[in-house]
Amino acid sequence: MDRIRLVGGNELNGEIVISGAKNAALPLMIASLLTDEPLVLTNVPRLADVKQLERILENHGVDIAVHGRRRGEAEGVGQRMTFHAADIVDTTAPYDLVSKMRASFWVIGPLLAREHNARVSLPGGCAIGTRPVDLFLYGLKELGAEIDIDEGYVVARAPKGGLTGAHITFPKVSVGATHTVMMAATLARGVTVLENVAMEPEITNVAEALNAMGARISGLGTRTLTIEGVDRLHGATVEVIPDRIETGTFAMATAMTGGDVLLRGAQPTHLEAALEVLGQSGVEITQEQDGLRIRRNGNGILPVDIETNPFPGFPTDLQAQFMALMTKANGTSHIRETIFENRYMHVAELSRFGADISVDGQVATVTGKPTLKGAQVMATDLRASVSLVIAGLAAQGETVVNRIYHLDRGFERLEEKLSRCGAEIERLAG
């Protein structure tokens, strides 16, 4: 199993091209199931999760093509891919595929809308909490679906004539449920109103893509979406937005090590809460024409208290990275995790660097130290794994991060991007 070896102490200086957002690319790929015409996606990141979802879609009968670079295209641009679900040959998403990635469960919405039936395994994914699918099923039932659980599979059927629009209020904000029910409602008869939906930029990226395919969705970027059902959707060409979590991760890595890095393609409006927190910690953030510039001179890192919340709040997917940053702060900070009940598994691994972190329920207290020391550590989930890289970049001596398959799920060419900016980092095979 591959590992990452790094030696800390180098400032980061240079430029990092921000990849396409994994959390937008995956639902956009799934949206291809809604039409029998080709859906072309550009700026698709090269990630293990993307490859896994390709296998799942191919199992349903989707033809997938990856296109080469075009003349004049900038280096670092993501893949251009075509997804063509001309004929859905299988409406079952089996356990051996779905269990490896939670987002693959979302195929249930398009399959139910277009084929009027679906049999999808209950999902797997990172071990950061139970993350039940009850909100998904609640929304689909409100659209008229009949749903049973049979030996670990969700079996869903639409009534004769298909799904029907409804007024649905989610009792809790859920990104996955918003994606799934929104996609299903595009082909439902009548009007669907979804209240208390997620507002993440990735939701808007998908909604805009659906509209480009002929859907009628209004209220984008708000807590209420109105969807007028249509008979069919057509093909379109859609660009995946830049990854705000990767942006925040590299911004925190720069803050941790010092230096000056341009994050090319970063969209600051997608990350305002996290950028505000970074500014409070003493980091200089400048918006430029082609991205965000992150600088930290010789001054120390200031402690800041945060609480994770749904967008536009501080993202839970940056909590572990921010905790790593606070281990070097000049004082004590507090982190309250409100989204997932088991997302502090990285605490034990960060402590191996000598970090001073204690956890009481949902709150982690981090007392910064002037020096961290390199260590052998193990990744526990996708975002936690990169927090260990951030700590290792600033630690004295050598750090080895084990089980980095988590990193490959969500970060494209991480070692290459960091090494180009001066980090001493390499991948060790096996």
- Domain check: are 30 and 167 in the same one? yes
- What whole-number distance in Å separates Cα of residue 317 and Cα of residue 273? 13
Is 339 annotated to bind a ligand? Reply is yes
Is 231 annotated to bind a ligand? Reply is no
Give the CATH number of the domain where residue 260 resides. 3.65.10.10
Find the mean pLDDT for residues 338-348. Answer: 84
**pLDDT beyond 90 at 116:** yes
- Domain check: are 49 and 156 in the same one? yes
Is 23 annotated to bind a ligand? Reply is yes
- Domain check: are 172 and 235 in the same one? yes
pLDDT band at 124 (very low <50, low <70, confident <90, very high): low
pLDDT band at 170 (very low <50, low <70, confident <90, very high): very high
- Domain check: are 189 and 284 in the same one? no
- What whole-number distance in Å separates Cα of residue 153 and Cα of residue 155? 6
Closest among 221, 43, 209 to 110, alpha carbons compared? 209
Among 185, 214, 239, the domain-final residue is: 239
Is 134 annotated to bind a ligand? Reply is yes
250 CB neighbour count, 10 Å cutoff: 27
As a three-state string, the secondary structure of 110-153 is HHHHHHCEEEEECCCCCCCCCCCCHHHHHHHHHCCCEEEEECCE
Find the mean pLDDT for residues 60-87. Answer: 86
Is 107 annotated to bind a ligand? Reply is no
Give me the pLDDT at residue 72, please.
Answer: 59
- Domain check: are 256 and 224 in the same one? no
Question: Cα separations (Å) of 35 from 25, 40, 422?
Answer: 17, 12, 46
Is 89 annotated to bind a ligand? Reply is no
- Domain check: are 211 and 302 in the same one? no
Q: Which residues have a catalytic role annotated?
A: 126
Find the mean pLDDT for residues 225-252. Answer: 98
Give me the pLDDT at residue 68, please.
Answer: 79
pLDDT band at 122 (very low <50, low <70, confident <90, very high): confident
Q: What is the pLDDT of residues 178-201, one digit of tens each?
A: 999 999 999 999 999 999 999 999
Among 208, 224, 239, the domain-final residue is: 239
**pLDDT beyond 60 at 228:** yes
**Domain range for 393:** 3-18+242-428
pLDDT band at 73 (very low <50, low <70, confident <90, very high): low
- Domain check: are 269 and 134 in the same one? no
> CA 10 from chain center: how many Å?
28
Domain count, the chain: 2
Give me the pLDDT at residue 174, please.
Answer: 94
Q: Is 385 helix (H, G, I), strand (E, B) or coil?
A: helix
Q: What is the pLDDT of residues 136-147, one digit of tens each?
A: 999 999 999 999
User: What is the Rg, in whole angstroms, of the alpha carbon atoms belonging to the chain?
Assistant: 22
- Domain check: are 323 and 186 in the same one? no
Cα dihedral sign, 19-23-24-28: positive
- Domain check: are 55 and 168 in the same one? yes
- What whole-number distance in Å separates Cα of residue 60 and Cα of residue 54? 10
Is 19 annotated to bind a ligand? Reply is no
- Domain check: are 270 and 196 in the same one? no
- Domain check: are 90 and 170 in the same one? yes
Q: Exposure string (b/e) for 202-229, b if CB count within 10 Å is 16 or more?
A: bbbbbbbbbbebbbebeeeeeeebbbeb
**pLDDT beyond 70 at 130:** no
Residue linked to tokens 């997917």: 317
Closest among 283, 263, 293, 369 to 326, alpha carbons compared? 369
Among 220, 239, 258, the domain-final residue is: 239
The upper half-sphere exposure of residue 302, i.e. CA atoms within 13 Å in the direction of its Cβ, equals: 15
Is 135 annotated to bind a ligand? Reply is yes
Is 201 annotated to bind a ligand? Reply is no
Sequence-distant (≥ 6) Cβ neighbours of residue 400 within 8 angstroms: 3, 4, 5, 376, 377, 428
Q: What is the pLDDT of residues 284-301, one digit of tens each?
A: 999 999 999 999 877 799
Q: What is the pTM of this model?
A: 0.95
- Domain check: are 87 and 183 in the same one? yes
Region of 282 (left: φ > 0; alpha: ψ -120 to 50; beta: rest) is left
Is 137 annotated to bind a ligand? Reply is no
Q: What is the pLDDT of residues 344-401, one digit of tens each?
A: 889 999 999 999 999 999 999 999 999 999 999 998 887 788 999 999 999 999 999 9
pLDDT band at 128 (very low <50, low <70, confident <90, very high): very low
Give me the pLDDT at residue 74, please.
Answer: 63
φ, ψ at 18 (rounded to 5°): -80, 130
Residue linked to tokens 């994914």: 125
Give me the pLDDT at residue 129, please.
Answer: 41
- What whole-number distance in Å separates Cα of residue 156 and Cα of residue 146? 6
The upper half-sphere exposure of residue 221, i.e. CA atoms within 13 Å in the direction of its Cβ, equals: 3
Give me the pLDDT at residue 125, please.
Answer: 44
Give me the pLDDT at residue 71, please.
Answer: 64
**pLDDT beyond 70 at 75:** no
Is 45 annotated to bind a ligand? Reply is no
